[in-house]
């Protein structure tokens, strides 16, 4: 049984967890009271919501032509707002989170032009800042209305924040999110302010939610889930499909990551996008996706009065809010409401105001997403050292009956049990349309799980998602055929050593496992002719995402290398103890050489760095700063 401890702090503290999603976002909070067991809660009230109790709001925003934020969330869905936006030329933002996506993620099916553009003069960081400000105001209002005034006054100044992000988001995206948080005024841009913000992958947050949901009700069947068995968490969201794989232990309950986390850009918005392509009449046959091959399927509404872009958008929205989640049988037709009961058009399969689509048509819309989950799982399983016996499906897209049925069938064939924790998907009324809330199953799994991470911290080790290292000039070895083959690149270093450039020094290998204390060291020999040369230095850290398990040269498989970040450190203190040495190779003069270790740690949810050196056998460490390349 997962038993939470009482909060050991001396003062009351508020923790806010933000889940900013491609289609929906939410906030959970926990007021830590000294001596009490922490209990997470969800923010359940947002402006324009209409019905209290929904834990999430749409990630939709309107800006005017001057770049001023006008409407957000439920207020942006109102009919009168849509009319005002059209009249006044407002810009509607949907899926804007995908502008943050790392370029290394496989995304041949999506380009920047496919995502609604940002308002003129606005970067994705500034849009994110506006959205964070709005969410924080919602949380502030909700908490103030739920508790006596003195409670808010006692917790408002030192709030701890957790921000979740897809598994594929890395340091560069965390850096952008952190900048947006500081611009929004949630924390100051100081070391103390930065320490109040933590990041967590959606996969790990989902694990904490699932385990809390499953195990707090009683002692799990340890005969069914013995020590060391594996579990995979599939967070099927609006933009991404995130898979995280762990081994589990009991007494006490803990988890270790056993494979690199996976992330695929095949969330529910891409099913909706493919549905729109099916409906659109303006696309010629040869430009439609290969999946839409028959003339009956192509341009479903071409030539009808429903083929205008505005009508296509409306019908696509109806598909997204109703039809998509109910699809469960490829042999049964699906229907999309397109008008009143008097609407009939037999030429376009419209009867009683509903467009009829064959089951084969609509289920094919899910194929790429289903395949993405299965392929990601298979890739993870190739790294795992434990058998996988359980899979959890969470996230709004996890409410899809068809996605569930396809994944359940696959996992059953693998001897793996698939489950969806906390079914809360219930019909709600929105205007004249009955819809199923896209919040879906485990409607607040990620922000609640983020709070559980802070309180329970069940994951004890994590796995490197790629190989990380740096480029350097290696000492020439005439017996090394690789060095000899690169003879034309040899050169004499400043201290008289013959070296060959563009060698790769691995620091962390893909699949390496680390806890929060484990250090990965990169020894450096820094030459200089005078001590004053040893000041602020930077070490570029490269990321290798290719297929080689041991890359040796940065100009081989060059496209698989990219700059992850620069580690910046100060060597002035370390240089104080240096003594001069005579130059080598017949060169005249003296030089200094400073030997240091750059230390990288990734066992926590963010990379961290230090620099270390020894004087008379005693090691000294100094903090280093990581600056990510956001391009």
| CATH number for position 131 | 3.30.420
Phi, psi of 393 (to 5 degrees): -110, 120
Quote the tokens at residue 407. Answer: 């994944």
**Rounded to an integer, what distance in angstroms lies between the CA atom of residue 193 and that of residue 181?**
10
Does the residue 122 lie in any domain? yes
pLDDT, tens digit, for every residue of 36-67? 999 999 999 999 987 776 788 999 999 999 99
Give the model's pLDDT for residue 480.
Answer: 96
Distance CA 569, CA 558 (A): 27
Q: What is the pLDDT of residue 326?
A: 85
Q: Among the three residues 181, 201, 221, which one is the final residue of a domain in this structure?
A: 201
3-state secondary structure 403-436: HHHHHHHHHHHCCCEEECCCCCCCEEEECCEEEE
* Beta partners for residue 525, in sequence order: 595
Query: Could you give the percent of the chain with pLDDT greater than 70?
Result: 89
In the prediction, which pLDDT does 4 show?
80
Please state the rounded mean pLDDT for residues 87-102.
94
Query: Is 594 part of a structural domain of the chain?
Result: yes
Over the chain, what is the mean pLDDT? 87
Residue 448 lies in a domain: no
Encode pLDDT of 260-315 as tens digits.
999 999 999 999 999 998 888 433 333 334 434 344 444 566 656 677 788 888 88
Q: Which of 201, 230, 257 is the last residue of a domain?
A: 201
Q: Which of 208-212, 339-343, 610-614 has the lowest mean pLDDT?
A: 339-343
Per residue in 525-553, pLDDT tens? 988 888 999 999 999 999 999 999 999 99
For the cut 90, the answer to whether the pLDDT of residue 562 exceeds it is: yes
Residue 267, in any domain of the structure? no
% of the chain surpassing 90 pLDDT: 65
Residue 438 and residue 23 in contact, taking contact as beta carbons nearer than 8 Å: yes
CA angle 241, 247, 255 (to 5 degrees): 90
Q: Tell me how many domains the chain contains.
A: 2
Question: 438 pLDDT exceeds 50?
Answer: no
- Mean pLDDT score, 343-363: 86
Of 279, 270, 274, 272, residue with least CA distance to 308: 279
- The pLDDT value recorded for residue 225 is 59
Is the omega angle on the peptide bond into residue 29 within 30 degrees of 0, that is, cis? no
| pTM exceeds 0.85, yes or no | yes
| pLDDT score of 77 | 92
Specify the pLDDT at position 434. Answer: 34
The residue among 140, 167, 201 that closes a domain is 201
CB 513 within 8 A of CB 463: yes
Establish if 584 belongs to a structural domain: yes
Range of the domain at 498: 464-628
Residue 578 lies inside a defined structural domain of this protein: yes
Is residue 345 in some structural domain? no
The reported pLDDT for the residue numbered 287 is: 39
97-122 per-position pLDDT tens digit: 999 999 888 666 777 777 889 998 99
pLDDT band at 503 (very low <50, low <70, confident <90, very high): very high
Residue at 297 is within a domain:
no
């Amino acid at each position: 049984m997962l038993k939470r401890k009482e909060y050991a702090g001396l003062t009351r503290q508020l923790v806010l967890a933000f889940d900013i999603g491609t289609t929906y976002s939410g906030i959970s909070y926990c007021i830590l009271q000294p001596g009490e067991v922490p209990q997470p809660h969800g923010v359940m009230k947002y402006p324009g919501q209409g019905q209290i109790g929904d834990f999430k709001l749409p990630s939709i925003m309107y800006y005017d032509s001057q770049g001023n934020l006008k409407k957000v969330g439920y207020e942006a869905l109102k009919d009168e707002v849509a009319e005002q936006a059209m009249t006044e030329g407002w810009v509607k933002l949907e899926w804007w989170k995908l502008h943050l996506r790392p370029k290394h993620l496989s995304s041949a099916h999506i380009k920047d032009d496919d995502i609604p553009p940002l308002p003129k003069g606005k970067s994705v960081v500034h849009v994110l800042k506006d959205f964070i400000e709005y969410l924080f105001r919602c949380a502030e209002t909700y908490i103030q209305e739920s508790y006596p005034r003195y409670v808010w006054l006692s917790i408002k100044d030192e709030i701890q924040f957790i921000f979740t992000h897809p598994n594929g988001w890395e340091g560069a995206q965390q850096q952008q999110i952190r900048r947006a948080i500081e611009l929004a005024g949630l924390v100051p841009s100081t070391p103390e302010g930065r320490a109040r913000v933590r990041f967590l992958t959606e996969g790990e947050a989902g694990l904490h939610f699932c385990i809390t949901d499953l195990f707090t009700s009683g002692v799990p069947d340890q005969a069914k889930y013995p020590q060391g068995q594996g579990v995979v968490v599939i967070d099927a969201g609006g933009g991404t499909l995130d898979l995280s794989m762990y081994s589990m232990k009991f007494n006490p309950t803990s988890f270790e990551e056993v494979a690199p986390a996976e992330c695929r850009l095949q969330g529910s918005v891409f099913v909706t996008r493919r549905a729109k392509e099916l409906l659109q009449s303006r696309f010629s046959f040869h430009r439609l996706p290969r999946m839409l091959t028959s003339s009956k399927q192509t341009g479903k509404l071409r030539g009808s009065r429903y083929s205008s872009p505005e009508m296509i958008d409306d019908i696509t929205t109806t598909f997204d809010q109703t039809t998509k989640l109910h699809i469960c049988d490829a042999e049964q037709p699906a229907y999309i409401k397109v008008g009143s009961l008097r609407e009939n058009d037999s030429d376009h399969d419209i009867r009683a105001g509903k467009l009829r689509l064959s089951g084969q048509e609509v289920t094919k819309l899910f194929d790429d997403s289903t395949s993405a989950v299965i392929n990601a799982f298979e890739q993870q399983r190739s790294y795992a050292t434990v058998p996988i016996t359980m899979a959890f499906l969470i996230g709004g897209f996890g409410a899809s009956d068809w996605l569930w049925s396809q994944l359940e069938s696959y996992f059953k064939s693998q001897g793996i049990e698939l489950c969806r924790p906390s079914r809360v998907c219930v019909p709600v009324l929105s205007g004249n349309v009955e819809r199923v809330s896209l919040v879906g199953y485990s409607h607040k799994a990620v922000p609640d799980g983020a709070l559980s991470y802070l309180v329970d911290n069940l994951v004890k080790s994590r796995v490197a998602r790629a190989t990380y290292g740096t480029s350097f000039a290696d000492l020439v070895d005439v017996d090394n055929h690789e060095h000899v083959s690169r003879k034309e690149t040899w050169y004499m270093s400043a201290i008289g050593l013959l070296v060959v450039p563009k060698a790769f020094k691995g620091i962390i290998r893909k699949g390496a496992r680390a806890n929060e204390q484990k250090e990965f060291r990169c020894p450096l020999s820094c030459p200089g002719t005078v001590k004053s040369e040893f000041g602020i230095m930077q070490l570029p850290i490269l990321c290798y995402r290719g297929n080689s398990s041991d890359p040796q040269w940065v100009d081989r498989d060059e496209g698989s290398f990219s700059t992850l970040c620069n580690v910046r450190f100060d060597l002035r203190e370390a240089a104080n103890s240096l003594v001069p040495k005579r130059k080598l190779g017949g060169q005249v003069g003296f030089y200094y050489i400073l030997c240091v270790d750059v230390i990288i740690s990734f066992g926590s949810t963010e990379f961290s760095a230090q620099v270390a050196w020894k004087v008379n056998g005693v090691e000294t460490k100094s903090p280093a700063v990581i600056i990510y390349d956001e391009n």
